[in-house]
Amino acid sequence: MTAHPVAEVGKAARAPRRRLRTRLGGREGLAGWTIVFILIAVAILAPILAPHSPEAIDGNRILAAPTATHPFGSDDLGRDVLSRVLYAYRVSLGIAVGSVLLAMAVGLPIGVFAGYVGGWTDLILMRLIDLLLSFPALLLAISLIAILGPGSLVALLAIAIIYVPIMARVVRSSVLVVRGQAYVRGARARGASHLSIVRGHVLPNAIGPALVQASVLMAFAIVIEAALSFLGLGSQPPTPELGLMLADGNNYLTQAPWVEIFPGLGIAISVLAFNLIGDGLRRSFDPNGITR
């Protein structure tokens, strides 16, 4: 019987790694990760992969249909749509990742603090968060842009700001659950400092739902950013950006549909990938699929 506790310890040490694999896994989740990694590679390698310069204007190819050298056709200035889509992923993914990281950097500490400390601090912080959430997200983003003026960085900031309360809320509710667990009470009884309890016990156990949320928010960030640019409130021309390309091509929709079809597909694929990851992660946290 003396071997038993030892075996338990060994199991506990291996468990997180196995959990991580299942968490990433699921057919859906893996498909999502694969697409995301390909898209990140595309964004980084855009200068090598793109057959033409994204800003090269060609008077002979205005709204030209797809050909072997220009598989996605050309836009109203004769620019190669494929090259522009490849470059546009830099902006889309950059803003999506940047805004979610920024929101996590701000929202995570707020959520952990509110959930862990509890009491009045929690009440006041959560009422403030509720106030922010009582504003439609896109409207809040647009209002911030109305104040600061349009641009890619402003869009990133605006998206991050609408994500902070969402992040803080999700983290807080999982911290609330973790805080009451026996191992946290045990650590406190052992005399561990609050900081080490938060770092060693609370954060690792409460981070899961925040990661699910992060991948879903990443998907939304791509859509919001594209929508803002489509309205002329995000990235400005001549930046190759998916929403902006859709806005440009809108006037030639029936004449040159390829200018609209491919950038839109580009958005949809990236959004789908992050949604698949989110769904896969969620499923691994909730195997019964009740919350789906």
Partner 1 sequence: MNARLSYALRRLILTAPVLIATSIFVFLLIRLVPGDPVRSMLGIRATPENIATVRSELGLDRPLPQQYWDWIWGVLHGNLGQDFISHEKITSLLKVSLPVTLELTVLAMLLAVGVGVPVGVLVAARTGWARKVSGGFVIGAISIPDFWLGLMLVLVFTGLLNVLPPSGWVPFTQNPVQNLRYMILPVVTLATGQTAYILRTTRAAMLGTLSEPYISFLRAKGLRERSIVYVHALRNASGPIVTVTGIQFGVLLGGAIVIENLFALPGVGRLIVTAISERNYVVVQAGVLTIACLFIVVNLLTDIVHGLLDPRVEEAVSS
Interface pick for partner 1 out of 50, 198, 206, 219 (rule CB under 8 A): 219
Instruction: Report the alpha-carbon distance of residue 108 to residue 103 in Å, rounded.
Output: 8
Neighbours of 90 (CB within 10 A): 19
Q: Which is nearer to partner 1, 120 or 191 (CB)?
A: 120
> Residue 268 CB, nearest distance to partner 1 (Å)?
5
Tokens, residue 240: 């190759």
Q: Which is nearer to partner 1, 122 or 248 (CB)?
A: 248
> Could you say which residues in the range 148-187 bind partner 1, by CB under 8 A?
148
Q: Which is nearer to partner 1, 135 or 183 (CB)?
A: 135
> Residue 245 CB, nearest distance to partner 1 (Å)?
11
Whose tokens are 């898209």? That residue is: 39
Residue among 45, 41, 25 nearest 33 (CA): 25
Q: Which is nearer to partner 1, 44 or 148 (CB)?
A: 148
Taking CB under 8 A as the rule, does residue 217 contact partner 1?
Answer: no
Taking CB under 8 A as the rule, does residue 257 contact partner 1?
Answer: yes
- Are 289 and 279 contacting, i.e. CB atoms less than 8 angstroms apart? no
Residue among 285, 251, 79, 257 nearest 170 (CA): 285
Taking CB under 8 A as the rule, does residue 275 contact partner 1?
Answer: yes
Interface pick for partner 1 out of 13, 180, 182, 254 (rule CB under 8 A): 254
Residue among 24, 62, 94, 35 nearest 240 (CA): 94
Interface pick for partner 1 out of 136, 186, 204, 237 (rule CB under 8 A): 136
> Residue 236 CB, nearest distance to partner 1 (Å)?
12
Taking CB under 8 A as the rule, does residue 146 contact partner 1?
Answer: yes
- Please name every residue paired with 74 in a beta bridge, in sequence order, or none if there are none: 80
Instruction: Report the alpha-carbon distance of residue 31 to residue 27 in Å, rounded.
Output: 6
